[in-house]
Structure 1
Amino acid sequence: MARSGQRQAGARRSSPRNQRRVRSRGDLVSVLARAVREVEAAAQRGRVTSSVRTQFQAVALLLRDERARVQAETGSDSRRAEQLKRLDGIATILATTAVRDAGLLALLAEDAVASDAARALKRDMLASVGVEPAPEDVPAPEPAAAPVTPERRVVPQSVVSRQLANPFLAPDFSAAPQRPPRARRLASWELLGPLFSSFERAGGGDSACMALPFPTARYTPAGAELMAHQGQLVAAAAAGHRTFLLADEPGLGKTAQALLAAEAADAYPLLVVVPNVVKTNWAREAGRWTPHRGVTVVQGNGDTVDGFADIVVLNYEVLDRHVGWLGDFGFRGMVVDEAHFIKNKTSQRSQHVLQLSDRIRSRVPRPLLMALTGTPLINDIDDFRAIWQFLGWIDDGKPLGELMDALEATGLTPADPGFYAAARRCVVDMGIVRRRKVDVAADIPARRIADLPVELDGAAGRSIRAAEQELARRMVVRYDTALANRSSGAAVEGVDLELVRRVARSELKDASTGEAGENVFSMMRRIGRAKAGLAADYAAQLARSAGKVVFFAKHVDVMDAAEEAFAAQGVRFSSIRGDQTAGVRQKNIDAFVNDPGVAIAVCSLTAAGVGINLQVASNIVLAELSWTDAEQTQAIDRSHRIGQTEPVTAWRIIAAQTVDARIAELIDSKAGLAARALDGSDEEVAASADVQLEALVTLLTDALSARPESGAA
């Protein structure tokens, strides 16, 4: 654990004045030492149960508090140094134990939520040495739950227009299911604890996937094909299944499965709640897989929302201001992407998601509800709780509806030895779908590139778009000046493409010598910096759900920004750069390859694109574009090489509606040309300057074509 993090966390949680000492606290260190040794022994045996995680977190909480107290204590410096040395020894054991188990490592994060059980154990450990807990550690009576009141609520004008345009568009809730009360054999049993425990008790060979039918009907548009594993889930929705915890590993196409499951279930209107980084990609994928369905993306206050769309996509960050009208919109389906974002039920976004889900289930007969995540568990089995509640499988205290019926049908109680295996099977059959890349390797190519478009919002996005417009305007002036100075005086119809290319070459020459102002090189660097945070967030998500990730960037400041984001999120990384000595470079490579706790390798696209082996990762994030397909391929081949046991996916982060997207298309087109011309050779037909030139040609052509009389003399 970082000492700065311990000091900050300790300062927040406790201060010396908040705890009253009854007798010497020297015994507390001994209690912590014994407890951490027990946790270490359990981790070495591979038996990290919920009770072990509770003990681990209680020790971490006490350790932080005790460190803050010792540092604030007045008295002998030597005594304080000795106490801190003993606490550092406990911290070292905690850290080395945590790297054995991702769940334990996550508990050391600054934003990790302390469970009630860990807080209770912390109080007990303090009491065992005669120390009264701090006031904030004493559980207060729970206040009556108050409705979440956001700072501002909005109703987009288009939604109002939808409501007024046709009274028949008002949602009809008359068919909402009403389940009559029934006598339950298990009504007096506490069932949620045993249900969660059934997943901890499961053996390594126990299936974590419901039985799925063979795909028969076709729901894809012409020219698009689903992979076999994707078609199975869509077939389950077509057969009438309506709740899914889709926990496939990243790269297996969860977005397409969710969109076509909605098509198979006719679950429209469909609400999709996603992280901001993938919002644009969801809209693009909806256009690809369900092109006949209108899709609208909610930005900010929703001024551009299409109230008549079939699919409404918005991100968690703006959910609070839109939850009012969303609850009355009449959705028949809801998808929550990266559903582990709602694991903390006390958070506002979790409460809003659960509120919307409850509203949909109370008004619509058998709505489609889908939770998508490659990481259903982060800290504890209890992370399942909010997801299961979103899906309508449980409430705060008991199983509901179909799950309760299934448990009753087993004829067992938690006192029976066979209950746990049967209960787990009941939950899995409710709709848990988990496939790994290695399970469906025959479905997916050994290496593929998946583009992830992102919107550059805020001041940085506006500045980049303004700079791009200024670059286009400068080239238009050059074009018009050259056209006016032609000696031939011949009239030109439309855009003179030859002149466009001459102007673009001149602009590229000035940019390469530094004579131009804003140019294509500075533009790409600014776009890279603007994408850095979004790319880092996505890489961190991948690391949590799929294991190790290689993160490539071209510029040092982009790497710096990404590493700062990883450090802030508590994600350990190795840095592989061109200015490192050979020894430092190899040490960092070895740390990424051999240390289970190092989740991400942050690599220079030019310095780490050749000569290193990173087969330990099968997911790559390309935060910035290279100028050639060959450079991009070399980077991907750090993981896609002999020794790799899984298909490799490279996630290319693209800034939508900027020159970044144009350059991505040009790189891909040049790659296709090289493949055709050289019959598979890796050598580039076109140099990087060709892509730069074509990007400027496209930018100038678009600007001229947008004028009322483009190119007229």
Structure 2
Amino acid sequence: MATPRQRNAGQGQRRARGPQDIMSVLARAVREVEAGAQTGRVSPTLRTKFQAVALLAREERSRVRGDATISESQRAELLKRLDGIGTILARTAASDTSLMSLLGENAVISDGAKELKRKMMSATGAELEEEPEVVAEPTPTSRAAERQVVPKSVITRQLANPFVVPDFSAAESQKVQARRLGTWELLQPLLNAFERAAGGASACMDLPDPYVDSNYVPAGLELMRHQSQLVDAASDGHRTFLLADEPGLGKTAQALLAAQAAKAYPLLVVVPNVVKTNWAREAETWTPRHKATVIHGDGDNIDGFADIVIVNYEVLDRHVGWLGDLGFRGMVLDEAHFIKNKSSQRSQHVLELSDRIRSRTARPLLMALTGTPLINDIDDFLAIWEYLGWIDSKKPRAELMHALEETGLTPVDPGFYPAARNAVIDLGIVRRRKIDVAADIPARRIADIPVELDDEAGRSIKEAERQLAKRMVARYESALATRKEGITVEGIDHELVRRVATWEREDSSSKTDENVFSMMRRIGQAKAGLAADYTAQLAHSVGKVVFFAKHIDVMDTAEATFDKRGIKYISIRGNQGTTARQKAIDAFTNDPDVAIAVCSLTAAGVGLNLQAASNVVLAELSWTDAEQTQAIDRVHRIGQAEPVTAWRIIASQTLDPKIAELIDSKAGLAARALDGSDEELSDSTDLQLEALVALLTEALSA
């Protein structure tokens, strides 16, 4: 009678080892690992054996699950034994948490672990193939490995199921099948499609008529129509969204309910630090059946079994390792324009996490939330599109490439651009404006309040501006004098003006002379008292007011003014903890005696709800329209019952009016790309350069 080994050998060359043999090898090796770890510090040799056992056990689990030649009872028994091996490995890792990094799907496999794994397989009689040599490139995770942590509660979760098998069923569909467009560079034409091919149409995918299941919305709460549409799209199976609704239209609630509709748990939410607490509150409000946990610092107090994990960009580098291995089925990126600089560490970590989630989960829910997706340039789209999986660093991915191929057009055809724009929008761009979808939200307006700086500080600023203009005029005239013969330009040579302004900007960092940034800061300091006086008068006549400034000394001046007048205020600054910040916001919202919120544009300009006020004072100008808009929309949002007015304090006869004009001109960028506006964009998106150009042009015209 044939032995089990002989019977297996008679089934062909599909597999030359028997499952019992590999189980024996694994069981012996894992006991050696466990015993070695109990003797003290884990040695490099033991780490190698730990990783080799983990890799082989994972491969064996996949083989057993897919082996059609064994019975269900045999499969159950083998999986049970593999679970036992996994539990021993996880228990060992709990005694030395550095071992957890060896269990990750993206863990670097050492040469020693590869060789030991081959020896263990050889001991079972397996026929081994030659392994190709792979040169691994450093990743953001590996470079920052020394900073990374694994919270204890996460280890507990991993102990409960140490080998979560990834779902690679969607991998084949992600292969790009480029035909006609295979040799074309397509990313720049796609950007151009948004910059110039709007044709008056807003950038919003087709959304279903609202039919939100009442089970999605907690009792006592109600969604607006535009919010219901997005949740229903997720319920219908759509899985990627660039949710670019104007600030104040309830993107947080839409994202949380979309995750619930898509059953995208566990859900990872990456947010700015200032809104972590608010996201946890919103999750408790809108999805109370799904526990949310917030990562602070090393994450010592998080709930490893929570459905929603909230982490801020600033500590992402410490947690990117275990976050990538947890098995998230969805990811939400709040204020997604934070990743526009792809070379930054936080952008690289975000892109790595989304890539790992897509590689492990079939059709995960990926959402990018931002009311201001374009800060300075149309190129700001690229990082967000890559996060969503629509493109990689060089070309469109499969779904978008297929849609572009289906147009039958190439970038030389004029019709390509509107068709390409629609193809990207259909992947999940959702953009709604308040004026279109929230008629019950009152109007918003920006009013400029000119002030005169007639003190010594004001005179000093005006003199510094004159010296800067004089310096550039001299440089311009010198360039004209040395110009080659035969080049003649009537009037002001605007091309040379721009070159001179560029030289001035580039040289300013190495000079002690005044530059645009330093003068704008001095202007902010000089008008701080005037802005505070106006805010105090406004609070006396209309009620609560939000005061925004860029610099701490301007906030200090304002608060000193309010103290002298006996006006009660709260302060929101970047150095506050989340608890103190939320306490201040609650006081401003609920205490009728708190008249003013003094806020940092950086710390309070995103994510916060300050709609208890309907008046905003902008004591200093920002360098982008997006930053200004975000600040105003802390007040102008769903739930606001009064018309909102933002009062910009403008120092007359200084650079202030020029900067305000330039900021307003840049407001057309998002309008043109997303809202279908025909408004022309300025030639440059660098406000500092444009301010220098304006200053020099004015001086030459005088």
Indicate the TM-score class for this superposition, using the shorter chain for normalisation: 0.3 to 0.5
TM-score, normalised to structure 2, is 0.47
- Greater relative contact order, per chain length (Cα 8 Å cut-off, separation 6+): 2
